Amino acid sequence: MKIFFLVFFLYPLILFASEMKATSSVEIKPQIVMVAEFNTVSFSWEELGLKHKNFFTDSVLNSWIKWVRDHHQKDKDLIGVCSEDCKKFYEWIQTPISGEKSVQEDDFNPHWLKISINIRKVSSDLKINEFTYEWEGSAVLLDRKTKMIREAFQIFLEKRTWRGLSQKELNSALATFVYRAALDSINRIIKNPQYLKLQENSEPKEIKRILVRGHRQMLDVISLMGLIKNFGIQNVELEFFNAHEAQVICTYSGEEKMFMDLLSQLKELKSTNNYKVVNESDSNHYILKLSLE
C-alpha cells in the first residue's frame, strides 16, 4: 500500500525532474528577502537524482514567494528571495557592522529572513522501495543594519514515510512537505506590519537589556523571548548569543516598575528541556538564569 501517494493530488505545488534547471529570481528591493539553507543528513542530493542542491532550494523558495504573493496581495512586492547560493547574504554575514564595509549598503534590504532546515534520511528499504525522512529547523528574521535577530521561530520536527514512489514523485513529496513546514513561520513574520512598512520609528520610551545564562541552545533563549512577549513586552530582540550567555533587548512604554514586575513574574520556560527561570538581577544588571528542573 502506498503511503501518502495522494500528496501529489492534494499539494501539486512542487514538481521535480532529475534534469530540472533551477529557476532564477528577478532582482528586486523588497523589505524582506528570504534565504533558504537545506542541510542533508545521512544522504546526499545526488541520491535524489539532483546534480545540485539548487534544484531543490530554488524550487522551494519560488513556491514560498508564490504563496506569499497569493496570500498577501497588498505586500507581495515587499517580499523577495535570494536564489542559488545567495552570495550577497553570506558576504553580509561576514561583514562587520562598524568600520569599512566591503559590500555596498544599497545592494541590500532592511531584513533577511533565513530559513534553515535539516533534512535527515531516517531509513530506507530498497526491496519494497520505502523511504522515511524527517526535518526540523528555524526561521530567523535578521536586521540588515544591526545584524540583530528581530524574530525567530522553531520549525518543529516532522517525519514521513513513502513507499512505492518513483524518484521524481519522492522528490516532489519531500519538497512539498518541507515547503509546508515553514509556512506558519513565514506567515507570522509577514503579518507583523513593522517589517513591511517604511516608517520613521520614534525612539522607545524605555530600553532594557537582559543577560541570559544557563541555556543549552539558541532555541532556549528564543523560547524565553517568546515568554517575555507573552507578558506584554512586544519588542524583544536578541542582541548577541554565545554558548555561555546571551543578551536580549526589550523596548516598551511605561514605568520601570512594569519591567521589574515582569521579571518577578517569569516562572517557567518550556523548551526541549524543562527550565525554571531564576531572577539574579543586581543593581547594575538584569540577569535571568535558566536552571534545569
Render 109-174 in DSSP notation, one character per residue.
-SEEEEEEEEEEEEEEETTTTEEEEEEEEEEEEEETTT--EEEEEEEEEEEEEEES--HHHHHHHH
| CA 289/CA 281 separation, integer angstroms | 10
Look at 53-62, 271-280, 283-292 and tell me which has the smallest mean pLDDT.
Answer: 271-280
User: pLDDT value at position 79?
Assistant: 80
Range of the domain at 147: 18-195
Question: Dihedral of the CA atoms 181, 182, 184, 185 (nearest 10)?
Answer: 140
How large is the average pLDDT for residues 213-239? 81
Residues 101 and 143 in one domain: yes
CATH number at residue 139: 3.40.50
Q: What is the 3-state secondary structure (H, E, C) of 230-248?
A: HCCCCEEEEEEECCCEEEE
DSSP 196: T
Query: Which set of grid coordinates corresponds to residue 240?
Result: 548577541
| CA 265/CA 273 separation, integer angstroms | 20
In a domain, 218, yes or no: yes
Write the pLDDT tens digit of every residue in 72-84. Answer: 877 667 788 876 5
Write the pLDDT tens digit of every residue in 119-168. Answer: 999 999 999 999 999 999 999 888 887 777 888 888 999 999 999 999 99
Write the pLDDT tens digit of every residue in 164-218. Answer: 999 999 999 999 999 999 999 999 888 876 665 543 444 445 778 888 888 888 8
Residues 152 and 178 in one domain: yes
Give 225's pLDDT tier (boundaries 50, 70, 90).
confident
**3-state secondary structure at position 47:** helix
Residues 33 and 87 in one domain: yes
Domain count, the chain: 2
Residues 146 and 26 in one domain: yes
How large is the average pLDDT for residues 214-243? 81
Residues 269 and 138 in one domain: no
Average pLDDT of the chain to the nearest whole number: 76
Q: Let me know the angle formed at the C-alpha of 27 by 23 and 32, rounded to the nearest 5 degrees.
A: 100
